[in-house]
Structure 1
Amino acid sequence: MLKVCLVILSFVIVLPASADVMGRVRVIDGDTFDVAGVRVRLHGIDALEDKQTCQTEQGTSWACGAWVTSTVGTLFDGKRARCREVNVDRYGRVVARCSIDGRDVGQQLVSRGLAFAYRKYSMAYDLDEKGAAVNDRGLHASRVQDPAQYRATRAKGRIPPDRTCAIKGNITKSGQIYHMPGQRDYERTGINLNKGERWFCSEQDARASGWRKARR
């Protein structure tokens, strides 16, 4: 009798662990840092855009977005952070949970009323925001538009229609400048095709068309 032996091979798939980004912080805005030269978007929180305005209870407008950026800069610029990667977003930024001096940065910002819990992606800071709201801390003492809604109303021309052609060719007083995903002004730059602005699929294409790279 012929005996057939079956050998079953077992494969173990090892998934890469989330990476740590460690180094000194340069604050870009209320929820975005450069950490050791890596652009990091803080996970689970959402901060105002730099140009957003708010209203006091008396109806006076004030530059709350710029205030948030300045205040976060005062708190964290130059300090050493440790950031645990969660994922990478469509702009090429590392989305991460960061800590400074052993304290969760996202939690500090939400608790102080400098940012909001981004419940679409995480409920981690839900109670922190509720505590800040009850006590009128920071932005909760003013009338403020949800930053996601603010961005949505200004999204036209900012999101590439083709993800493989995501370089933004912007026309400014300084000339024709292209912005790469991950650069400082990439997200806030909108492309108006009627003005001659355009999308590029490669840096080579942009340079060949007479555009120069943005410095930051």
Structure 2
Amino acid sequence: MKRIIIAVVASTFSVAAFADIVGRASVVDADTIEIHGQRIRLHGIDAPEKGQPCFDASGKSYRCGQIAAMALDEFIGVSPVQCRERDVDRYGRMVADCSVRGEDIELWLVRNGHAMAYRRYSSAYIAAEQEAKNAKRGIWAGHTQAPWEWRKDRRSGS
């Protein structure tokens, strides 16, 4: 009898550790926002970093990370953002699924070519990425290095 009670109590605490957060969001970069001082990493996607170069169809370099962050800021506007926590990353940021006006923010970013499906953590946005590639939207109009590869190269000094 005691084991059953302990299991119920333990599962109650683990569920309670995850919470929703709702409020006006500030865009940190295209895959990180902040609500009420809480940094939130968008789940299942990875967007180009602010300093990461992308290349358009003619091979001209442009700041795709900055463009993606500005597009996200415009998409969110002043509408409240709702995020459902899934995890906490190694930097202490909440990792969450977020929406604005009932629309999945991560899906919007990937579908519009502002982010890639982060297959290491989720398969949820692979179809949206393929859709963006086929339509040559955003980063797919030219070419760029995957953000996770770009960060790895920067750390290793390549």
Q: TM-score, normalised by structure 2?
A: 0.89
- 1:96 aligns with 96
Please tell me whether residue 80 in structure 1 is matched to residue 45 in structure 2: no
Q: Is the 8 A contact 2:59 2:142 kept in 1?
A: no
- 1:20 aligns with 20
**Unaligned 5+ residue runs, structure 2?**
none
- The aligned length equals 150
User: Equivalent pairs: percent with the same residue?
Assistant: 41
* Structure with bigger RCO (C-alpha 8 Å, 6+ apart): 2
Q: Secondary structure at the match of 2:15?
A: coil
Q: Is the 8 A contact 1:117 1:123 kept in 2?
A: yes
User: Which amino acid counterpart does residue 15 of structure 2 have in structure 1?
Assistant: P
Please tell me whether residue 58 in structure 1 is matched to residue 55 in structure 2: no
Q: Is the 8 A contact 2:79 2:100 kept in 1?
A: yes
Q: TM-score, normalised by structure 1?
A: 0.66
In terms of fraction of residues, the more helix-rich structure is: 2
- 1:31 aligns with 31
In 1, Cα distance between equivalents of 2:82 and 2:30: 17
Structure 1 or 2, whichever has the larger Rg, is 1
User: Which amino acid counterpart does residue 122 of structure 2 have in structure 1?
Assistant: S
In 1, Cα distance between equivalents of 2:59 and 2:90: 37
In 1, Cα distance between equivalents of 2:70 and 2:99: 19
User: Which amino acid counterpart does residue 39 of structure 2 have in structure 1?
Assistant: R
Q: Is the 8 A contact 1:49 1:147 kept in 2?
A: yes
In 2, Cα distance between equivalents of 1:156 and 1:16: 38
Task: Give the root-mean-square deviation of aligned CA atoms.
Answer: 1.5
Query: 1:155-170, aligned counterparts within 5 Å?
Result: 155=155
User: Which amino acid counterpart does residue 138 of structure 1 have in structure 2?
Assistant: G
Write out the 4+ residue segments of structure 1 that deviate beyond 4 Å after TM superposition.
none
Shift of 1:33: 0.2
Shift of 1:75: 1.5
- 1:43 aligns with 43
User: Which amino acid counterpart does residue 129 of structure 1 have in structure 2?
Assistant: E
Q: Is the 8 A contact 1:26 1:77 kept in 2?
A: no
